[in-house]
Amino acid sequence: MDERPDSPGATGPAPDAPARRPTRAETLAEAIASAITEGRLAPGMALEEERLAALHGVSRTPVREALRLLAATGLIEQRPRRGAVVARPEPARLAEMFQAMAELEAVCAGLCASAMGRAEKAALYARHAAMGRLARDGAVDAYRDANVGFHELLYAGAGNRYLAELAETTRRRLAPFRAAQLGGPDRLAASHAEHGAIVTAILAGDATAAAAAVRAHLAATEGAWGLMAGQPPARMG
Amino acid sequence: MDERPDSPGATGPAPDAPARRPTRAETLAEAIASAITEGRLAPGMALEEERLAALHGVSRTPVREALRLLAATGLIEQRPRRGAVVARPEPARLAEMFQAMAELEAVCAGLCASAMGRAEKAALYARHAAMGRLARDGAVDAYRDANVGFHELLYAGAGNRYLAELAETTRRRLAPFRAAQLGGPDRLAASHAEHGAIVTAILAGDATAAAAAVRAHLAATEGAWGLMAGQPPARMG
DNA sequence: GTATGCGCAACTGCATGCAATTTCGGCTGC
DNA sequence: GCAGCCGAAATTGCATGCAGTTGCGCATAC
């Protein structure tokens, strides 16, 4: 019964493998979080413990722990004795979160300008160039995927994992409200042009310009969210 | 279906009154968090569920939920099937967190410079002046308390609650490693002088200078932490 | 004396059950 | 017709119990 496939040399580059075999609560939390960020669970929906338990074939106990995790992450809201619902921040708070994310990314970009090595800068430029081709071809879906990677390069290039985590958490919490982003093809080209300003500033080592370019980029995308902020509460599907 | 027109116009600006009667898990989480930030639970200490349950007169269930909350907050670390310990970040990560906090506060200060109204600026200046008297008198404890309030004024003055939450969370996570701060009386005077640069920049509406002053301030205090980063793990007292 | 394998104690993960609170149905009264 | 009240169902909060795993101590072999 003792099989230990246990990392014989090259288990993988595993940057951090703290949870070898995740507990059910963690698996559940991940599943629910994905359902929220991908839009399968809309903001305002009620999350009943028993239903989630039955849905995932477990008891209520791990469900409750998963909900605690998600509540601390901010993806859901728990009212004592009144159940949990998918977080539905008020418009004012959404604006705050978006501004905070812009500032976080601006800080990252500023750090990138001085902290990135040659290899990282080359990778960033390569990604940018590839995205230019996608934008020219109008490949919206591929561009969106590559876009996530682009911003993650900014997080990683800053050389500050904690800052990157803050930015990624914020990005996740905003995900349900950014569905309509990159809607039009002109927006695609505009996005790429704004990325160009960011990349140029970073390659030049100009932290101030890089931060400003990021703020401009995110201010330009700001109009594309908040469309589903006024829905009435609903049951879980 | 059942529509609930809830939110009668202005549901209430109520900034935050979500937990009328908190659940035991939340109470526990708060208690343990305080114990950690105030140093009664040192980094690396093991947190056994049964012991915590007995200590607080509850069963293991709410303890487990509280630990989940704290793990998501980053104050503790949970290894599946191996228990939880008070978080003990490696020195490199501590440095990252401190840098991130400096940048967060710098962003706040920059926003303060343009977002603060006359009344808020007056309150900030008043607080700064009062702290000047405390520094002159060498009242370290009173200065430290007032210092927390000073930084909270910066968070609040930025007009972005989410950003303020990020900053406060980070500050809490760093709390166990900042015990020796403001050690000498010269540090007290220096701190006040650095605050003066921040206040001046904000009052003048100079966002760039305000951010730079905050970075300088936190860089100067950076040397006072990390003393307890190398202890071996220990049992809970 | 050091290294290896086995067995036990301790602890965590999860399921189940009960009590308390909230919510919704219908009813009474105005 | 509408507001207020009361009782039952639904749902959450918490305690308890059991199975599985981890870690440690001890005996054994080299």
The answer to whether residue B12 scores a pLDDT higher than 90 is no
SS3 B206: coil
User: Quick one: pLDDT at residue B186?
Assistant: 80
Provide the token pair at B77. Answer: 């670390």
SS3 B134: helix
Q: Which nucleotide is nearest to A50 (CA to C1')?
A: D11
The answer to whether residue A235 scores a pLDDT higher than 60 is no
User: Quick one: pLDDT at residue A140?
Assistant: 87
Among B64, B86, B108, residue at a domain's last position: B86
The answer to whether residue B230 scores a pLDDT higher than 70 is no
Q: How far is the CA of B4 from the C1' of D5 (A)?
A: 21
Nearest Cα residue to A16 out of B230, B233, B82, B93: B93
Q: How far is A163 from chain B (nearest CA, A)?
A: 6
B221 and B206 share one domain: yes
Round to whole Å and give the CA distance between B25 and B23: 5
B46 compared with A140, residue with greater pLDDT: B46
* Any domain includes A190: yes
* Any domain includes A214: yes
pLDDT, tens only, A159-179: 999 999 999 999 999 998 886
Q: How far is B214 from chain A (nearest CA, A)?
A: 14
Residues in chain A, overall count: 237
* Any domain includes A145: yes
CB of A80 less than 8 A from some CB of B: yes
* Beta carbons of B97 and A162 less than 8 Å apart: yes
* Any domain includes B237: no
Smallest Cβ distance to A68: which of B5, B21, B25? Answer: B25
Q: Residues A115, A117, A119, CA angle at the centre, nearest 5°? A: 145
State mean pLDDT over A201-209.
Answer: 97
A221 compared with B215, residue with greater pLDDT: B215
B60 compared with B6, residue with greater pLDDT: B60
User: Quick one: pLDDT at residue B84?
Assistant: 96
User: Quick one: pLDDT at residue A223?
Assistant: 57
The answer to whether residue B200 scores a pLDDT higher than 80 is yes
* Any domain includes A13: no
Smallest Cβ distance to B3: which of A18, A20, A232? Answer: A232
Q: How far is B161 from chain A (nearest CA, A)?
A: 7
Q: How far is the CA of A130 from the C1' of C16 (A)?
A: 55
B153 compared with B223, residue with greater pLDDT: B153
A111 and A128 share one domain: yes
User: Quick one: pLDDT at residue A228?
Assistant: 46
Provide the mean pLDDT of chain A.
86
| Cβ–Cβ under 8 Å, residues B99 and A163 | yes
A72 and A153 share one domain: no
Count of domains for chain B: 2
CATH of the domain at B124: 1.20.120.530
Round to whole Å and give the CA distance between B207 and B171: 22
* Any domain includes A17: no
Q: Pseudo-torsion of CA B227, B231, B234, B236, nearest 10°?
A: 0
- B58: Cβ under 7 Å from strand D? yes
User: Quick one: pLDDT at residue A181?
Assistant: 67
User: Confidence class of residue B33 from pLDDT cuts 50, 70 and 90?
Assistant: very high
State mean pLDDT over B179-208.
Answer: 87
pLDDT, tens only, A98-127: 999 999 999 999 999 999 999 999 999 999
A79 and A118 share one domain: no
B97 and B142 share one domain: yes
Q: In chain A, whose CA is at the least distance from the CA of B24?
A: A80
The answer to whether residue B13 scores a pLDDT higher than 70 is no
Helices (H) and strands (E) in chain A, counts: 9, 3
Nearest Cα residue to A63 out of B64, B27, B39, B84: B64
User: Confidence class of residue A26 from pLDDT cuts 50, 70 and 90?
Assistant: very high
CB of A64 less than 8 A from some CB of B: yes
Q: Burial code of B176-207, b = ≥16 C-beta within 10 A, e = fewer?
A: bbbeebbeeeebbebbbebbbbbbebbbeebb
B138 and B205 share one domain: yes
CATH of the domain at A55: 1.10.10.10
* Beta carbons of B6 and A233 less than 8 Å apart: yes
User: Quick one: pLDDT at residue B178?
Assistant: 81
The answer to whether residue A9 scores a pLDDT higher than 60 is no
B95 and B79 share one domain: no
Among A35, A58, A86, residue at a domain's last position: A86
The answer to whether residue A20 scores a pLDDT higher than 80 is no
Which range (A8-17, B47-56, B103-112, B192-201) has the least confidence? A8-17
The answer to whether residue B79 scores a pLDDT higher than 80 is yes
Smallest Cβ distance to B96: which of A25, A163, A232? Answer: A163
Provide the mean pLDDT of chain B.
86
B53 and B124 share one domain: no
A204 and A123 share one domain: yes
A61 and A77 share one domain: yes
Among B63, B86, B109, residue at a domain's last position: B86
Nearest Cα residue to B154 out of B195, B188, B192: B195
A128 and A32 share one domain: no
User: Quick one: pLDDT at residue A179?
Assistant: 62
Provide the token pair at B25. Answer: 């898990």
User: Quick one: pLDDT at residue B226?
Assistant: 46
B117 and B217 share one domain: yes
User: Confidence class of residue B138 from pLDDT cuts 50, 70 and 90?
Assistant: confident
* Any domain includes B15: no
Structural domain range at position B54: 24-86
The answer to whether residue A42 scores a pLDDT higher than 90 is yes
* Any domain includes B224: yes
State mean pLDDT over B44-64.
Answer: 96
